[in-house]
Amino acid sequence: MFQFPKDYCVPFDGSFALHAAPTAPPKDVADDKQLEKRLEKLVARIDELQQMFYAHDKHSLLLVFQAMDAAGKDGTIRAVTRGVNPAGFQVFSFKQPSAEELDHDFLWRTSKCLPERGRIGIFNRSYYEEVLVVRVHPEYLGGQNLPTETDHEHLWADRLESIRDHEKHLARNGTVILKFWLNVSREEQKKRFLKRLDKPDKNWKFSPGDVKERQHWDAYMDAYEQALRTTSSQHAPWYAIPADNKAYMRVAVAETIVQTLESLQMEYPKPGEADRARFAECRQLLENEGA
Ligand code: ATP
Ligand code: MG
């Protein structure tokens, strides 16, 4: 009923072909009810693992979410964090950069938000926008005050290299990185936009700009293909998750997170001899209280 997340892992050898990545789940997928039950179990497990992750305090976990509009980034983030101790993770959304952000290198604004050890950081959009939306709209570079000597011919390859180096550095220093591309089909996006127009309670989600952006679909797919192909690695894998079925997508993301956390060699810190002696003293103090 469920394909293992490794099936969605983007290969590390540069062979990723976006057209072959499924947007729909496998044919024999379970029904929504079963998927929701599975999700509930996975989220309960994430909660347990998060506690141990916090106590272990050696790694941080960075979850990056990228997708076309209406693919379901927000809903997926909500689904996999629902019921997990809110102190354990932080969600950051990256929209059009501010003037201050544009006055720094392109990794600055996200670097400030990286999770500390023991914590889970979630990026709703990320530094990848710099090789996605900016690549589709190179006119945005005009607002970035780049040095005159910038090599525009190799700009995207250079940015992708910076991203690879950045992620390697983070991984070496204890950040576990998982990147999710929620792969929605063009047809499904259209359906979801129409639903937003049809249903008054969904009108607030509709943005005319999103329909305009959709006209650049092929350019976005090219940019995504390049980005995923060149930046998926053992230490910072991309997962291209089918997004046309939301319940399935959420399970696939949660499953990936659980498997990754379970693969870390985590343990609760064990008290040493001195700690145990101190515990015995404390126990005595507590037991003698008011005696
Ligand atoms: P939602 O629509 O659910 O609120 P969203 O992530 O689509 O979520 P929007 O405010 O609609 O949020 O869109 C944010 C926009 O900011 C996107 O179009 C994204 O491509 C753009 N953006 C993000 N980072 C950059 C960047 N570095 N340079 C230019 N545009 C960016
Ligand atoms: Mg939007």
pTM exceeds 0.85: yes
| Mean of per-residue pLDDT scores for the chain | 95
Q: How many CA atoms lie within 13 A of 187 on its CB side?
A: 4
Look at residue 5 in the predicted model and tell me its pLDDT. Answer: 66
From 110, 124, 125, the mutation candidate for ligand 1 (largest count of ligand atoms within 8 A of CB) is 125
Rg of the chain, C-alpha, whole Å: 22
**Burial (Cβ within 10 Å: 0-12, 13-18, ≥19) of residue 51:** middle
Closest CA to 250 of 81, 66, 101, 110: 81
pLDDT grade for 6, boundaries at 50, 70 and 90: confident
Query: Which token pair is 255?
Result: 């499953």
Look at residue 38 in the predicted model and tell me its pLDDT. Answer: 96
Give CA separation, 254 vs 99, 135, 139, 206, in Å.
36, 30, 37, 27
pLDDT tens column, 92-150: 999 999 999 999 999 999 999 999 999 999 999 999 999 999 999 999 999 999 999 99
Look at residue 4 in the predicted model and tell me its pLDDT. Answer: 58
Question: For a pLDDT cut of 90, what percent of the chain falls above it?
Answer: 92
pLDDT tens column, 33-57: 999 999 999 999 999 999 999 999 9
Neighbours of ion ligand 2 (CB under 5 A): 69
From 66, 77, 95, 216, the mutation candidate for ligand 1 (largest count of ligand atoms within 8 A of CB) is 95
Residue with tokens 């792969």: 183
Query: What homologous superfamily does CATH list for 18-287?
Result: P-loop containing nucleotide triphosphate hydrolases (3.40.50.300)
pLDDT grade for 1, boundaries at 50, 70 and 90: very low
Which atom in ligand 1 lies closest to the alpha carbon of residue 69? 7
Burial 10-19 (b: 16+ CB within 10 A, else e): bebeeebebe
Nearest-CA residue for atom 28 of ligand 1: 96
Query: Which token pair is 113?
Result: 């938000």
Quick one: which ligand is closest to 223's CA? 1
Closest CA to 140 of 156, 154, 157: 156
**Which of the listed ranges 2-16, 173-187, 196-210, 268-282 does the model predict with the highest average pLDDT?**
173-187
Distance 205 CA to ligand 2 centre (A): 8
Distance 74 CA to ligand 2 centre (A): 10
| Domain locations in the chain as residue ranges | 18-287
